[in-house]
Structure 1
Amino acid sequence: MNDVRQATAGAPQRDPDPRVLRSRQAALTAAQELLAEEGWSGVTHVAVAARSGIGRTTLYRHWPDVAALIHDAIVQRIGQVRRAPSGDLRTDLVGELNGLRQLLHDPVGEHGMRAVLDRAPFDPAFESLKEALYQAGSAGFRTILETADANGELSPDTELPLVIDQLAGPLIFRRLFAGLAIDADYVNTIVDDVLRLHTARGLTPRPES
């Protein structure tokens, strides 16, 4: 996948050109709309250019392939559903998992993730996209769990990647494979079960609603 999103080490930092930001957002909005309406096959440089009014040359400069465009479209959605941590382990895990729940019910997020699962076995660009989205999607969980581990809230033998899988895996399976809806109670149950397994003092009491 392209390297245009990676900052060049040592490069001087400049304020972004507002025109560039507007063009970029118009392109991402168009890509998100097409992804929601038609799935990954509807996201092409030609279609995004026609809907956004951004020239194809500009699109190719920022996103040389469709996988890069879908990556940024989904990552933007991830950022929109992510919540700032409060410092309370259970509250933060519930919030992060509810963000994933929202993403899985959002046509852009759901169709985008289905596209990745569909194309990754056959397309190296989408295989790279799958890894990049995993890193982006799990970053919030890693931050919360690393903080809890440093504070002594997790059992000493806890493997953080396993905990992330136990948190996010059931939602992804339920929505993308079983095609079932996910509600807030389901999220609370998953978090409480995981905390029961991995917290140093057992399950953190559920706060009164």
Structure 2
Amino acid sequence: MRDTQPWKGAGAPDRGPDPRVVRSRQAALSAVRELLAEEGWTGVTHVAVSARSGVGRTTLYRHWPDVASLIHDSIEQRIGQARTARTGDLRADLISELNGLRRLLHDPASERTMRAVLERAPFDPAFASLKETLYRSGSSGFRAVLEAAMAGGELGPDIDIPLVIDQLAGPLMYRRLFAGLDIDKTYVEAIVDSVLRLHANHR
């Protein structure tokens, strides 16, 4: 959507991020999360984020030219925080990934973001692009686990990875965003086990 390394001056030597810049970025994204949790996407404006975070509007517009880009970076940060280290155990790693999604769906700001993206994507190009990038980011962890399992012979070489990701994540998205029901760890484990019964090579 824009430069993936904002806050870094053009031509500046690579000395690592300026701590003041890191704090400003974190303050802005924290403000976005708070506003999403309190008011939904309509509460996220450059004026509101500036007032909440103390980061100047000019700075915000320079690095996040529209509301969709503010929301994108906020939810991307949460996706990254939800991820855990790989163990090499297929079942455990899939459960870990799915529990990360479960936590996101129960986080007020993240849940409201997902609802906003689904609501606006059909008629707002910025949110349509946001939906696509968040789908790629959110599914990348599952894809890495499944590809490693294919390479190790735990899954067949011809499985349809996007379909398997849908079978894993789809029930959680439906249960939370459409049915409005809570998701517990037992439900997550049941989904993973049912998918593995379909696709795992049983030796």
Scaled to the shorter chain, the TM-score interval is: over 0.9
**Paired AA for residue 79 in structure 2:** I
Residue number in structure 2 paired with 1:111: 112
Closer, same or farther in 2 for the Cα pair 1:157/1:135, shift >3 Å? same
> CA offsets, 1:29-54, max 9 Å, x none?
00000000000000000000000010
Q: What's the offset of the Cα at 1:15?
A: 1.1
Q: What's the offset of the Cα at 1:157?
A: 2.3
Task: Please give the TM-score of this superposition, normalised by the length of structure 1.
Answer: 0.92
Residue number in structure 2 paired with 1:57: 58
**Paired AA for residue 88 in structure 2:** G
* Residue 150 (str. 1) matches residue 158 (str. 2): no
> CA offsets, 1:51-86, max 9 Å, x none?
001000000111011000000101111111111110
* Residue 81 (str. 1) matches residue 82 (str. 2): yes
How many pairs are equivalent?
A: 199
Residue number in structure 1 paired with 2:139: 138
Q: What's the offset of the Cα at 1:6?
A: 5.9
Residue number in structure 2 paired with 1:205: none
Residue number in structure 1 paired with 2:125: 124
Residue number in structure 2 paired with 1:207: none
**Paired AA for residue 40 in structure 1:** W
Gaps (5+ residues) in structure 2? none
Q: What percentage of aligned pairs have identical amino acids?
A: 72
Over 6 Å off, 4+ runs:
none
Residue number in structure 2 paired with 1:4: 3
Measure the CA separation in 1 of the matches of 2:113 and 2:15.
Answer: 32
Q: What's the offset of the Cα at 1:125?
A: 0.2
* Residue 175 (str. 1) matches residue 166 (str. 2): no
Measure the CA separation in 2 of the matches of 1:198 and 1:14.
Answer: 47
Q: What's the offset of the Cα at 1:186?
A: 0.7
Name the stretch that deviates more: 130-139 or 148-157. Answer: 148-157
> CA offsets, 1:128-150, max 9 Å, x none?
00000001101110111111011
SS of 1:15's equivalent in the other structure is coil
Task: Please give the TM-score of this superposition, normalised by the length of structure 2.
Answer: 0.94
Measure the CA separation in 1 of the matches of 2:163 and 2:77.
Answer: 26
Instruction: Please provide the CA RMSD for this pair.
Output: 1.6
Closer, same or farther in 2 for the Cα pair 1:54/1:6, shift >3 Å? closer
> CA offsets, 1:5-47, max 9 Å, x none?
169xxx8744111111110000000000000000000000000
| 1:29-48 paired onto structure 2 within 5 Å | 29-48=30-49
Gaps (5+ residues) in structure 1? 203-209
SS of 1:179's equivalent in the other structure is coil
**Paired AA for residue 30 in structure 2:** T
Measure the CA separation in 1 of the matches of 2:111 and 2:146.
Answer: 25
